[in-house]
Amino acid sequence: PTGSLLYPYGPHQGDITNPKVDDGTSEAIALSVPFTFYGKTYQTAFVNNNGVISFDEPVRQYTPDPFPLADGRPFVTPYWGDVNNVLGGDIFYRQTTDLALLEDISKDISQYFPKSPFTATWALVATWDHVAYYGSASQKGNTFQAVLTTDSKMFYIILNYWDIQWTTGAASDGDPETGLGGIPAHAGFNSGDETNFYNIPGSQTDAIINITTTSNVKVPGRWVFRVDDFQVTGVDPPQQNNCWL
């Protein structure tokens, strides 16, 4: 969409499309540039249908658990909820060294983190495009994206939220008609060390539906984090119609 926060995606960008399987996942993605996350370096990632990018192992779990997870799974979740792409939507991903895209990513990160000059040399772009929820009796779909990127010294993750219409699948006690209620989706980071984690405000509450209006970089719908040694960027004050009470 024009004016979209999302970086270009889809088959015409060379993206791989995940199979249409409930609680499915990509194949193991051998990272052409190993990715450092909370002090550990990983060679393999999975783009999981349920809104999670995990390292080393896939994640098929559909109802989110609060962070920190006790079982040591290191992952980032732009939007962990019960996606069913059989009912609608697609999950795309690609590793890229495309110069035009890397230039856009570098420009954005340099703007948000002006003290650390950054020139991206690689990115993994994963996009959930109008994905439906499990048990859906509606046409609702969520569109969001996660980008892992590095200059081989610093490692960043960008989370983009374009259109969020549902929070909960029916097996997580959500309403099939509305996709709301029950145990809502979770957004954030789990280091895998049982100590370090980050929850984006609103996670696992009804307020997560408003994530397209929140940010930590003054761009509504975008959250950006340096993750090699995880650093939290101050959260922007919520816009007036959003109260995180």
Per-residue pLDDT, 4: 81
Instruction: Provide the terminal-to-terminal Cα distance of the chain, rounded to the nearest Å.
Output: 33
Per-residue pLDDT, 122: 98
For residues 175 and 49, what is the distance between their CA atoms, to the nearest angstrom?
20
Q: Is 228 helix (H, G, I), strand (E, B) or coil?
A: coil
Domain ranges of the chain: 11-226
Per-residue pLDDT, 139: 97
| Contact in structure between 24 and 31 (CB atoms under 8 Å) | no
Task: Please list the pLDDT of the chain residue by residue as tens digits (245 residues).
Answer: 456 899 999 999 999 999 999 999 999 999 999 999 999 999 999 999 999 999 999 999 999 999 999 888 999 999 999 999 999 999 999 999 999 999 999 999 999 999 999 999 999 999 999 999 999 999 999 999 999 999 999 999 999 999 999 999 999 999 999 999 999 999 999 999 888 899 999 999 999 999 999 999 999 999 999 999 887 777 777 655 444 44
Q: pTM, whole model, 2 decimals?
A: 0.94
Name the residue among 146, 123, 186 with its Cα closest to residue 5: 146
Q: Is 77 helix (H, G, I), strand (E, B) or coil?
A: strand
Triad 141, 8, 98: Cα angle to 5°:
150
Phi, psi of 103 (to 5 degrees): -65, -45
Number of residues assigned to the chain: 245
Residue 228 burial by CB count (10 A; 0-12/13-18/19+): exposed, middle or buried?
A: middle
Residue carrying structure tokens 């690609």: 94
DSSP-derived secondary structure for 1-23: -TT-SSPP-SGGGT-EE--S-TT
Per-residue pLDDT, 239: 55
